[in-house]
Amino acid sequence: MNIPFIDLKTQYRRIEAEVKKNIETVLEHGAYVMGPEIKELETRLAAYCGVKHAVGCASGTDALLMALMALGIGPGHAVFTTPFTFMATAEVVSLLGATPVFCDIDAATFNMDPASLDAVIAKTRKERPELTPKAVISVDLFGLPCDYDALDAICAKHKLVLVEDAAQAFGGQYKGRMCCSFGAIACTSFFPAKPLGCYGDGGMCFTDSDELKDLLLSIRIHGQGRDKYENVRIGINGRLDTLQAAVLLPKFGLFPEEVGLRQKAAERYTALLSQVPGLTVPQVPEGYLSVWAQYSVLARDTEHRAQLMDKLKAGGVPTAIYYPQPLHLQQAYANLGYKAGDFPVCEGLGRRVFSLPMHPYLTAEAQERVAQAMLA
């Protein structure tokens, strides 16, 4: 019997009655767009993250897009981010006519390397006079927060605004502070595979700024002003569906417990996989809490990775590679002029990394099978 990469069915069985009841309630009141469940979810998640405002939207990508729009990002602006992430992080920059500028990552955390970021910002100011540095998008990869003390200091030094891409890290913590509470605006995704996921697409923006909250609310509905037929700015159709909010509410009820279950699963993996020759298990720095959206390990090299993934496949264990091709080497960004070797840490990790099944309901027996398959 194959081990599932994620297990949404077990979770659903725990909340089936509540999910069905909530969906039935939406079907009865008929407010499928911007129904009362949206505000309830926004209020509960803002309180959980320790911020004043949360604005639900249609996807994690829309959350990032709305954030940059609210901050006035556009043509001629440089936005600094990591190439070791999903396409959406940089894609929203390009959609607004701005230019993504990449920096390398930290070899231990997979997250943005503050020293590389600082150097790239200085180099851009010196060598790219056509670009005005405006913002940094940090990415809390695999559920682990970035080094926000360092990033905040760099943004202050260079007078840049910080946007937190916590698509994979809702529920994570940095020095006692929740992910989705960093930067001027933070963003997350409710894609089904995320730690807190809905049954389709969904996302949310978080901010302590009353002004930015008002801008996000307007942008979310076509730049709406005082009513739906007054449009005071360019916006998007970025609303979160009421049915998805109705699903997320009972899921959020389980969420703190599931974060704890993810910690236990990660601890078991780390103990079991330390026996696998040549395998490097992920480390969480002191003061950080990862929500373990992925449990990603490093093989010695590409050949070793292929061998281990083949063994796992033969043992009925699925794997995935996040991310086999960094953004700076993607065809979509060929126009930016990057080449192989520009970000050696990112490129080197991309040749070695792979991810194992990870979810709150992963049993010790299943994890032992994973380890045994790699040791075979």
Domain co-membership, 123 together with 245: yes
Residue after which a domain boundary falls, among 223, 250, 277: 250
Confidence of residue 52 (pLDDT cuts 50, 70, 90): very high
Residue after which a domain boundary falls, among 196, 222, 250: 250
Max Cα-Cα span within the chain: 66
Q: Is residue 128 part of a domain?
A: yes
Domain co-membership, 54 together with 73: yes
Q: Name the percent of the chain lying above pLDDT 70.
A: 100
d(CA 114, CA 215): 30
Note the pLDDT of residue 370: 98
Domain co-membership, 238 together with 119: yes
Note the pLDDT of residue 156: 98
Please tell me the pTM assigned to this model.
0.98
Note the pLDDT of residue 12: 98
Contact 246, 18 (CB under 8 A): no
Q: Is residue 342 part of a domain?
A: yes
Residue after which a domain boundary falls, among 205, 235, 250: 250
Q: Is residue 1 part of a domain?
A: no
Note the pLDDT of residue 1: 74
Looking only at the bridges linking them, the beta strands covering 99-102 and 132-139 are unpaired
CATH number of domain containing 287: 3.90.1150.10
Domain co-membership, 63 together with 93: yes
Note the pLDDT of residue 250: 98
Q: Name the percent of the chain lying above pLDDT 90.
A: 99
Q: Between the CA of residue 124 and those of 100, 145, 148, 249, 352, what are the distances in Å?
A: 11, 26, 22, 44, 30
If DSSP codes are grouped into helix, strand and coil, which group holds residue 164? Answer: strand
Asked if residue 294 has pLDDT above 90, the reply is yes
Note the pLDDT of residue 290: 98
Note the pLDDT of residue 101: 98
Domain co-membership, 163 together with 306: no
Q: Is residue 2 part of a domain?
A: no
CATH number of domain containing 222: 3.40.640.10
Note the pLDDT of residue 104: 98
Domain co-membership, 164 together with 83: yes
Domain span holding position 349? 256-375
Domain co-membership, 178 together with 31: yes
Q: Is residue 301 part of a domain?
A: yes
Note the pLDDT of residue 49: 98
Q: Residue holding tokens 């006519």?
A: 97
Q: Is residue 172 part of a domain?
A: yes
Contact 282, 142 (CB under 8 A): yes
Domain co-membership, 14 together with 147: yes
d(CA 240, CA 33): 8
In this structure, what token pair is assigned to residue 111?
Answer: 């997250």
Omega of the bond leading into 323 within 30 degrees of 0 (cis): yes
Confidence of residue 260 (pLDDT cuts 50, 70, 90): very high
- Residue 335 CA from chain centroid, whole number: 26
Note the pLDDT of residue 303: 98
Query: How many structural domains compose the chain?
Result: 2
Domain co-membership, 264 together with 221: no
Note the pLDDT of residue 350: 98
Note the pLDDT of residue 228: 85
Domain co-membership, 195 together with 271: no
Q: Is residue 16 part of a domain?
A: yes
Q: Which of 251, 220, 246, 249 is nearest to 235 (CA)?
A: 220
Q: What mean pLDDT do residues 171-194 have? A: 98
d(CA 98, CA 73): 7
Domain co-membership, 35 together with 82: yes
d(CA 139, CA 336): 21
In this structure, what token pair is assigned to residue 323?
Answer: 């991310």
Which residues 6+ apart lie within 8 Å of 147 measured at CB? 106, 109, 111, 114, 174
Count of other CB atoms within 10 angstroms of residue 184: 17
Q: Is residue 3 part of a domain?
A: no
Domain co-membership, 69 together with 129: yes
